[in-house]
Amino acid sequence: MLAAFVEQLKSSLHESFLGQHPWLQWLARETIALLTGPLTGERTRYYWPELVGAILFAAVVFLLRDRRHGDRFAAFLGYLFPRKVFIHPSTWVDIKILVANHFVVPAINITWRLGSPLFVGLLLGLMTAAFGPAPRNLEWSGTTIVLYTLVFFMAEDFGYFVYHYLMHRVPWLWAFHKVHHSAETLQVFANVRSHPVEHILGLPFSGAITALVIAPALYFGVGEAPYATVLGFSLFTMIAVAVAGQLHHSHIWISWGPTLEHVLISPAMHHIHHSTAERHWNKNMGGTIALWDWIFGTIFIPKGYEKLNFGVGEGVVQPHPTLLAAYLVPFLEILPFRDRLFDRVAPFVKHLPASLKSTLASGDRASQ
């Protein structure tokens, strides 16, 4: 109902004076989408059931593990929103990147056609050419819908793992992914601290992998392939709530224990992934499922609580202290003639931000 109301509101903009100004109309639509995204789930990773689930999960951890005698509700709010985390300069850069990406990514996205529909169409064409017309002999039942949803979820997560692994291992991809890892605090906004190039490159990976599940379902199944829902919410959302997905980027250490952490990524495991300690680099690449890390040897299961620092490395100058630096520094890092560029700008380098000086002068490690 709310999603329909928001769509109606955005459609009504065309009938207003904004209809005579396409760019203003687009800006208004995007602003509405930005503000209502957490309520509708559209183009956001802050859908309200996930946020509510994260708060409830944190409340349980607070009550059972971290609460001190005499603590009241105000103490829980301080536990949930620690001042030193949310006023940190890195957190404010996260928020600026979140807002900027909402407007910039759709405007520059050159891979929007390279998503699931394209790869599904290609694969269906290949299957039809090889095996003949689609038999469509699979009737969808409750069991097959749930199985299909879970297989799709695993395929999507594996696609994320492969893409994430490459972002860490390929130097020019790491230059862009490092924007995410330069976060010095973990909180809800760090979840989407990423360079626009990441959004552009990630879609083809996800589309190609999930097409391997969607195409056979359309080839053999009757009608569209439906996804399972729980209480009206997508099963994906419920899984994210169940495994505390929103708490992966938080200051709260939550571990599932060594056995379950071979299967599912815990918030503690993702903390390890963001750690500046060299022994933690390139570990725990999975989004939700830890099996991929276990299989490919990138898993790191902490034996207990570890006090961690977050960022790209101990003693490394923050490469992205501002929104502008977060957007521009990765392009400077991948320039093949960076050293010569530094020679040219050396007379003016005193006017550059510290992050740009560091990048032009010596760069950073190729990957983490």
Reported confidence tier of residue 92, pLDDT bands at 50, 70, 90: very high
Q: What is the DSSP letter of 67?
A: P
Beta-carbon contacts of 16 under 8 Å, excluding residues fewer than 6 positions away, are none
Average pLDDT score, the chain = 87
Reported confidence tier of residue 282, pLDDT bands at 50, 70, 90: very high
In this prediction, residue 223 carries a pLDDT of: 82
The phi-psi region of residue 232 (left if phi > 0; otherwise alpha if psi is between -120 and 50; otherwise beta) is left
Concatenating the DSSP letter of every residue in 135-174 gives: ---B---HHHHHHHHHHHHHHHHHHHHHHHHHHHHSHHHH
pTM of the full predicted structure? 0.89
More confidently predicted of 287 and 235: 287
Three-state SS sequence of 350-365: HHCCHHHHHHHHCCCC
